[in-house]
Structure 1
Amino acid sequence: MPQQWTLPDTSNRPLAVLGAGVLGRRIAASWLAAGYHVNLRDPAESQRNAAAVFIQTNLSDFEELTGGNRKPGTLNVFSDLGPAVQDAWFVLEAVPEKLEMKIDVMGQLDNLVKPDCIIGSNSSSFKSSKMLEKVKPENRARICNVHYQMPPKANTVEIMTDGQTHPDIIQFMYERLLNAGMLPAIARKESTGLILNRLWAAIKREVLMMLAEGVSDPKEIDALFVRMFGNNSSGPCGMMDAVGLDTVAFIEDNYIEERHLDSALTVDWLRKNFVDQGKLGAKSGKGGLYPPGGTTKSSATESGHHDNLAAPMLYFLDLGVGANFEPSKAFTGGKIMTASSDGSNMKTLIDGVTSPDGIDVSISAGRIFWTSMGIPSKPDGSVLSAKLDGSDIKTIIPKGAVNTAKQLVIDHDNSTIYFYQTKWCVGITVDSKHGKIYWSQKGASKAGQGRIFRAGINIPSGETPSKRSDVEFLFDHLPEPIDLEIDALSQTLYWTDRGEYPLGNTLSKAIVGPGEDKKVITLARHFHEAIGMKIDFVNHHIYVADLGGALYRFNEDGSDKRRIIDLDNCFTGIALAYLH
């Protein structure tokens, strides 16, 4: 018989989720929205920062699971395991699908949690009975699998014994999950994959075999699947890309070993043709079964719960001088705004910003950085910073130390901020791979005097910033070049141009590597005073913001141009952050 177990108090004690990745942050959000206090633990600062902002931004979607009439619980984020779990009534591990890691985590929890704490594993590919090696025998009755899909859209959760789990725990978790707006199900006996993932494993296996044998292609398979099982807009190939083909292969390894399956036309084929080439799916920037960006849908109505997981969140600047602005706030009513990659979930993060122009985001630092041009005719430009949720605003460079500061970029490799402010200089971008800085001079308004230069990141020995021999002139007589972005891998430079029609208000590119002819190619036209521009290197999209109050998204070759936001505002800089 299982050991005696005492019902834990859930009213004041938190539950803990270990792992703040794609699924961990969604699990935490579902409990928070139901009114429970949650401790979210992850050793990586960038994951903690991204998870906290994701939860804050998307919590209303999870509140719908319980009718939206409950007061949300409190979220606390931890880097260390001990403080995160010491008072928890339930701990769920959502760490990577590596059995050795899960065994270690269970052993650590065995020595850290209270005697009545339930310990769950989110794993579907490993039974929790395989994780008990370092757990004391008398505590194994408190361990079970509690496997989520992808809330809030997929709110199913499966509960499964480790073979020794106290029956009261299974029923208790069933009731708590039902209370939190989930659709729980109980696996009556131990089963690798529990219930849903055994079905999904069979589908994946047959799909991979069809692809390996050349029977069909991803687009055709998914089209048939979606038509037959139309509640989700993604078919099996799109779903595998969203999860990650490396993860798919790792999970399938366990089925192959346990059931003595042939791996030649499934995992072996998948690794040879995709995983070993770095084509891991949506997250890799190299695509997978689909080309890059294939799992990013244009709107929430078109997407399923596996879509848009690799899509960025947009941070963008509004000058505050749109159609209905107050003249008294002409230069002080600016905003920092956010939205999903399709333009939905738009909101104001920071208000009352003075003439914002350039913005960038550091997930590792957990902060936004932006420039303030200040009030025209006054030398009062500045550079500021805030946490990703808009709190804790700090001045990096005080008013007057810079003048009309423009585009700002972060060299993430070297934790350095760059911006430009004098002699009509506007845009700047950094290629740390090749040690180069690029900048634009827009020239007089509508004068066709725009130019682009580059120089080394490091000043040549014995030279000064004002007198250096490595400044290289690249382009002249451009309409009015503004923001820049460099693709370091292909050494392709992208920029927005203002200026007169028909040559101005465009997005252009040129290859600027050694020996290239540096031919300017126009990718898109007909913006309304184009300013901000950012490349989504993961999904191979480009975003552009203009003074006419529009945000656009299109493919890297300029095709499929979409106006994702269109307001009576006045947008300048734009930045991307991968928070999903």
Structure 2
Amino acid sequence: MTSAWQPPKNYRTRPVALLGAGVLGRRIGMFYCVKLDTLFVQEVNNRAAAIWASAGYSVHVRDPSADQRAACETYVKENVASYAANTGAEPGKVTTFEDMAPALENAWLLIEAVPEKIQLKIDTFELVEKLAPADCILVTNSSSYKSSEMLDKVSDSTKARILNMHYYMPPAVMVVELMTDGFTEPAIFPFLVERLKEAATLPYVARKESTGFIFNRLWAAIKRETLTILAEGVSTPSEIDSMWGEMFIKGKMAPCKGMDSVGLDTVAFIEKHYIAERGLSGTKTVDYLQTNYLDQGKLGNKSAAGGLYPAPGSSETDGDSHSLVVLDIGLSAKEPSLHAGEVLQISTDGQVQKVLVTGQALPDGLAVDSASKRMFWTNMGVPGKDDGSVMSANLDGSDIRTVVSPGTVNTPKQLTLDTKSQKVYFCDREGKRVLRCNYDGSEFEVLVATENADSPDILKWCVGIAVAPSFGKFYWTQKGPSKAGQGRIFCANIQTPAGQSASSRDDIRVVLNGLPEPIDLEVDEEAHTLYWTDRGELPLGATEILSRNFNEAIGLKLDPVNNVIYTTDLGGSLYRCDRDGKHKVKLLSDENRALTGIALV
């Protein structure tokens, strides 16, 4: 393979083609309760049309059955809006075809979903090679066969653009797995990952070709052991399912984290008993652990060297080390003033390494763009006066620049970045607005103005901000009165609807309400999850409290590589905990500091 591969030209204006035959080819993922396997597969395949259309793509669906083409059109009509709610895009048009040639015309992506018969798939790819454009990416939705088994009748150049792309179910699961055919051009994978994120799916790429994908292999092992338990009379189906719900659903036990928690040495010891009793091979279990982990002192959570995951706070993050930058608002300084705020560099174990910037006017929100090696922060100034500002500097504190000058905004709070478009998003609390500008302060615009809302001023105060470009959305908090249970989280489209203004746009939605006092906000686009800090008491309703007992919690930052969360509070403390809120550790406590914004470097 070479690195000269280029994405399909003008792919945004070209269709995605879904190819079925007989009972297949309609959607990928939605699960209906039906009795016949053929009907079930029809529903499984229909979802692709709705998913890709929800991202704004035109979709061509080919099926020889008129009834099935009609069923596809009905499904998309009834469901595409719900998918598009997660993408923020105007849904594209879905067109059905009886014949293959017009369905493939000008397609940039073809999804093959013909019946799971290998010779049929081989013949299908031979035909597709002749009919589809030469730059069209060709994928099979098969989970039974590797795509390398379907290449007998295609050219070497076509092999480079074929791969597996498998969708899962039930409908709440938006996971998609990608896998090479052994010849697939490597650059196709990051390209498809970004396109799949546009459609609000969660793409995972298998590192090498495998019989079965990542999840299928996990599920195969679970099935085998479950059947063995039943065959030996050890338990019953209802007991197994009940225990699974308690341990893995309620308890959120994950395989690799679970082994790190138990200890890899203990895992190996237990596995040796199974090997001896059942006559199994230890090559890919105990021997693998011994060579790659135990011999290196990597025993899991109890080891400073970590285990399957790096130790929390470790710099062993796939070759990338990091530290933290944290804002001290200055109100608890030994000589407090409105200009005692500082930007601090702090190690991930809580040691203040350096004061990067001093003399800031109540700094509050902070974000880092690693590519440009610059950090951005807000200065609140005096609440009620239009003296707030947005600043930026190099990561070492040099080259300080004013992005938004005093006199433009009132009390800028949390700040976040869309690094791809190089936009700064931030909230103006007393200004009752959500704002955006370029990194240099140009193209300053008001995205949301709550001034005209029919509610008391304090309910209009905008505080936390997060942006999810892959969804086409941004989110913000309106905290309400202190600890009053009137806080809300909203979202709107990144693109303001045509002909509408910041105060009149009709795409604003309430995500959550009745919150005590929500402050900073983070979004995990891959997990479709919002995180936020709250200065109030316990909320009611369907929200999950990950960690409690902070002293006026403010800053929040996800570290997805190490699966931890960092938080700050006005009591001068910095904390770290797991993504599920467990193993909370106070890294820093200083009564002469009041910490606000936090970012990873």
TM-score w.r.t. length of structure 1: 0.47
Q: Larger RCO: Structure 1 or Structure 2 (Cα < 8 Å, ≥ 6 residues apart)?
A: 1
